[in-house]
């Protein structure tokens, strides 16, 4: 229960950074909210690889490695998106910094979720 509360709190902090990067009057542009798409898409390759891989005892499989590759691409894209927006002056650099801080916190929260709740053979929501 404590892990779930800690993950919820850190997720709220990450989303607060993202909202501050968008909603502060000085910045006032909501383009960085498209980063939310990366947050939702990030765990999908892991879930697919978990369902497809037959041999769960192997140290590595091609499907799992491909899932890691796609997840890494999604995470790098989530960090690159606000930098590109700031570079073309669609958002200010301060907003970019807040969004990058939010990205770091949210992706660490997602990683923490998989480390805490994804240890069993089959991932199930009944562990809560």
Q: Note the pLDDT tens digit of each residue in 59-77.
A: 667 888 898 899 999 999 9
Q: First CA to last CA across the chain, in angstroms?
A: 8
Binned at pLDDT 50, 70 and 90, residue 24 comes out as confident
| Mean pLDDT for all residues in the chain | 85
- In Å, what is the CA distance from 124 to each residue of 13, 21, 56, 65, 127? 26, 34, 16, 22, 6
pLDDT tens, residue by residue, 87-97: 999 999 999 99
Question: Would the pTM of this model clear 0.75, i.e. be above it?
Answer: yes
How many percent of the chain have pLDDT more than 90?
A: 50
């Amino acid at each position: 229960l404590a892990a779930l509360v800690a993950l919820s709190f850190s997720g709220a902090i990450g989303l607060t950074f993202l909202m501050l990067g968008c909603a502060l009057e000085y910045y006032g542009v909501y383009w960085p909210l498209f980063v939310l798409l990366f947050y939702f898409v990030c765990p999908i390759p892991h879930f697919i690889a978990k369902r497809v891989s037959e041999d769960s005892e192997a140290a590595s499989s091609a499907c799992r490695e491909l899932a890691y590759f796609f997840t890494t691409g999604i995470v790098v894209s989530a960090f690159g998106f606000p930098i590109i927006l700031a570079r073309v002056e669609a958002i200010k650099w301060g907003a970019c910094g807040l969004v990058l801080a939010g990205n770091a916190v949210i992706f660490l929260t997602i990683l923490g979720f998989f480390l805490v709740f994804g240890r069993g053979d089959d991932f199930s929501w009944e562990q809560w």
